[in-house]
Structure 1
Amino acid sequence: MGIHSVANACAHLQNASRARLGLTSLPNNKYNLRLALALHKAGFLSCVTRGGPHPPPLDQLSSYTPEPITSKNVATSRLWVGLKYWDNEPVLKHLNAVSKPSRLVTSGLKDLERVSRGFPAGHLKGLNLGECLFLATDRGVMEVREAVERRLGGLVLARAS
């Protein structure tokens, strides 16, 4: 995976959440899309949609149909991500990249089982309440509990809380 783009997306989403933005954009590539969809599935993001350089209308966000991506507009296409808030506090408080370009962290099934139960394993700390760990496996980006259920290991991307 493009660890550079994933690390930049993690930093951008955390900064946007701390700045209390309702909608922010990421570069449209398959790595950012997979991470954003995994965060959406885990409940950290309210919506994920593709669009152009300008944000889609907020009232039509759930039913918005993006323009098709062509060779002329591929450089300007963006992923528009809606952030969630609960009692005026961001749901996504921390989003830290675990794997960095200088050090890729992979983990096998046994280590992931320990981490998902809250125990440290290798370079990974155990998960606390409300934390999620996202992995890139050969079957896509998924949360650690889903990976353990499917008996998969992979590249550890990010830790969210």
Structure 2
Amino acid sequence: MTAYPAETVHDALREEPCEESWWMPGPDDFAACALSSSAHTVAEARRFTRATLGNWQLCAGVTEDAALVVTELVSNALRHGVRAEDGGAPAVPDAPDDRGALACCRPAWLALTRQDGAVLCAVSDAGTGVPVVRPRDPMAESGRGLHLVDRLSEAWGWTSPDRSGKTVWATVSPHG
């Protein structure tokens, strides 16, 4: 089930100083990590998700579904989360400010929030393009990710993009 753009929530995830590797285990119901643009980022995000949800003692089905959803959201953020008009470089707002500097050195953030037995997965990036679900094509080499997110999540959507980017989110719940 696809939801439509929501209010922007990603600025709070971009207010930390730039570091090469950063993650924040929050209270028992929140965890976040900054994602680099390295070749290992998607696997690291998947491991972070499994470890966090395992510590929260969520059921194995929710953990594995959330790990797949995070894989797709992080892959899309790294592939499409930059402004094409900037020649593929991360977005930097016109006015100098901390968010612009962070967008430069942090292509994406992953946040996980536990809500009862469900988990909200949110990936913020510097891009201003919104997700586009491609028509199903069994012969295509790519383009199935958002279909997978739609199938595995109770709801998903994105915040309205602004100068600092957007957040794409999905809620994964236990299967009834």
In our comparison, the structure showing a higher alpha carbon Rg is: 1
> TM-score interval w.r.t. the shorter chain?
under 0.3
TM-score of the aligned structures, taking structure 1 as reference length: 0.27
Whose relative contact order is higher, 1 or 2, with alpha carbons under 8 Å and at least 6 apart? 2
TM-score of the aligned structures, taking structure 2 as reference length: 0.25
